[in-house]
Structure 1
Amino acid sequence: MDLTEEVERLVSDYPRTGPPIVAEVLAVLLKAREHFCDLEDWTVFLAVLTRAQSAGAFGAVSRGDLLAGKIAELPGGGTNVRSISESCRIPRETVRRKVAAMVARGFLERRGGRLYPTVGAMQALDPLRMQIYASAARVWQVVDRTRRQS
């Protein structure tokens, strides 16, 4: 079954699929609000994180080592304000201000003119990461249940 068919199946059974999926999206957003003052802050951080994760070395960092403080600096690809602004469609000056605030908070760092998430940010954001995984698993259960019932 292709993605379009999966989406149609979920939409057609909205009374059973919609509420739990929306509840999980809300759970993630509420957890994100504990760390980011607005959606643009989180969007900018996610753009930096996504770029860092695109390098294979980032995936080799274990959660245990990260939380235990065994990682001094996160590997991965860096990005810049212009790239974030273009990819996220947020004005460059807004991105610049958001980045400056996150650098001051210790969530982002500059290395060689590029932006990277910090180890401290990843440690602080671990509850958000775990909420994302828990929500993804619950959504997967909704999808799986819908598949089995059709």
Structure 2
Amino acid sequence: MVSMVLGLVAERYPCIAKDLLKPLLELLTVSRQVCGGDIDKFLILLVVGVRTAEHPVFASLSASQLARGDIPVLPSLGTNARSIADSMGIPKETIRRKVGELIEAGWLVRRDNDLLLTGHAFEQLSPVREAVEMLAASNWGTVSALLADVG
């Protein structure tokens, strides 16, 4: 099914590009704004966020628990600055400096060698989450319409 959808998206890309790119641009614009104009900080938060989303306890939490700030440090499988630098191709010193700024802002904490998202970061990143939700819903609608067209 996935390969069929990918083929269809590739074939119809010129027709649907605007529908795919507009919400992506909005997500990146909002992400950059929330991170004070620093897209690298967003990428760091995104890597830590993926490791958070992969933790089974995180999946069991409700959005209202997170929004209320009931959880000061979010459960995570963890990652470290070196892994982020290696995976993103960003110099280690740049990552280390920006991680320090995110820790100072209260968005990340360091436990042992792991970087973890805070409840404060979850709250501050709400415009980004809303843009991710919009991107998901928009892309679902675009792909659903393509599938309906081919019947």
TM-score by length of 1: 0.91
What secondary structure does 1:115 align onto? strand
Which range is displaced more, 65-74 or 96-105? 65-74
Q: 1:48 to 1:2 in 2, by over 3 A?
A: closer
In structure 1, stretches of 5+ residues that fail to align are none
**Counterpart contact for 1:11–1:17, Cα < 8 Å:** no
> 2 CA distance for matches of 1:11 and 1:112?
44
1:50-108 Cα deviation digits (max 9, x unpaired): 12222211212211011112223211222111111111121111110110111111111
> 2 CA distance for matches of 1:112 and 1:99?
15
In structure 2, stretches of 5+ residues that fail to align are none
Amino acid in the other structure paired with 1:9: L
Per-residue deviation, 1:126 = 1.4
**Counterpart contact for 2:48–2:116, Cα < 8 Å:** yes
Q: In the alignment, does 2:103 pair up with 1:98?
A: no
- RMSD in angstroms over aligned alpha carbons? 1.5
How many percent of aligned residue pairs carry the same amino acid? 31
Amino acid in the other structure paired with 2:126: D
What secondary structure does 1:34 align onto? helix
Q: In the alignment, does 2:63 pair up with 1:77?
A: no
Per-residue deviation, 1:14 = 2.8
**Counterpart contact for 1:102–1:108, Cα < 8 Å:** yes
TM-score by length of 2: 0.90
Q: What residue number does 1:7 align with?
A: 6
